[in-house]
Structure 1
């Protein structure tokens, strides 16, 4: 009689697991994440400008991008393009060029912030800005849309934009 009860309990557990398995598989995070929007889209991340340590002849600012949970990770490459600076809504006349390895690829997404450097020469006439707009680059080309970062900085002719790097 003991063997029959043990067999019956085991059989019931197997049947219950078989019935519940499809429902569990449908709610799997890995299944859901494949349909989540990309963290690289401008509307799906935030960016902040902060001061960074100076180097010989330059001020540096760090632009850190973060993506909240619920977005798929993506790959970014090189420096952002079309970087423009604004102060209280008015665009400055300063344009920036990229520097560094433009082929380096980083993974960006929830829990994986990335950053890039803004390098401003000390010896040029600097103007204040409180926002930067830019277009992100993927390994296979430009990501559609414009991203924005807020934070106080000073920019000047000769400002350079570094490539994306891992970390905040």
Structure 2
């Protein structure tokens, strides 16, 4: 059998190189190996930089958590004057839920009222006029309202910010803006629907 195949001698290998008369196999030096690794790393990094940000992040965007009309900060409220008499000043407070708010349910009169004028407190004790037995849905597209009645004593305090709790004994507080007078004997009616 011919000891040489395709021009390569069957001579023994010495020191990592074939003996004279054979084709030498080039050996990579440590420097060459390191250069090859660096080149490969740079190529991978350059390819990654060309991938658009939207493609690189394949994770789908998460929807925001659901909220209701009773979630703190997810509503707006305004105080408006109603026709009044010489004895009583009448107001209505209308509350709108933020867009996308799911419905929560309210009943009775608000509690824990607070009044202030440009941040300066205006003390007043507000009494509820009693339960009306109705439960009212409050959410996006389903506003609510209630009335406030203030006796005209001739010297009521003035306020432009009204805070109250729509759910008794809860931590939820709504804030309504608009001019209002406050005095002893002020009452608040039950919450009703303001949908038109």
Normalization by structure 1: what TM-score? Answer: 0.72
Q: 1:144 aligns with which of 140, 147, 171?
A: 171
Matched, 1:67 2:102: no
Map Cα deviations across residues 65-108 of structure 1 (whole Å, 9 max, x no partner).
Answer: 00122111110011111001111101112121111325321111
1:116 is matched with 146
CA shift at 1:56, angstroms?
A: 6.7
Change (3 A) 1:124 1:77: farther
Q: 1:51 aligns with which of 72, 81, 93?
A: 81
- The 4+ residue runs of structure 1 with deviation greater than 4 A are none
Matched, 1:155 2:185: no
1:134 is matched with 164
The 5 Å alignment of 1:70-109 reads 70-109=100-139
Contact 1:75 1:108 in 2 (8 A): yes
Gaps of 5+ in 1: 1-31
Contact 1:115 1:166 in 2 (8 A): yes
> Higher helix share goes to which structure?
1
Contact 1:136 1:142 in 2 (8 A): no
- How many angstroms apart in 1 are the aligned matches of 2:95 and 2:128? 18
Map Cα deviations across residues 4-40 of structure 1 (whole Å, 9 max, x no partner).
Answer: xxxxxxxxxxxxxxxxxxxxxxxxxxxx9xx621111
Normalization by structure 2: what TM-score? Answer: 0.62
Gaps of 5+ in 2: 1-62
- How many angstroms apart in 1 are the aligned matches of 2:117 and 2:91? 16
Structure having greater relative contact order (Cα 8 Å, sep ≥ 6): 1
CA shift at 1:124, angstroms?
A: 5.4
Note the aligned Cα RMSD (angstroms): 2.1
- How many angstroms apart in 2 are the aligned matches of 1:119 and 1:70? 32
> Higher strand share goes to which structure?
1
CA shift at 1:45, angstroms?
A: 0.6
Equivalent residues, number: 133
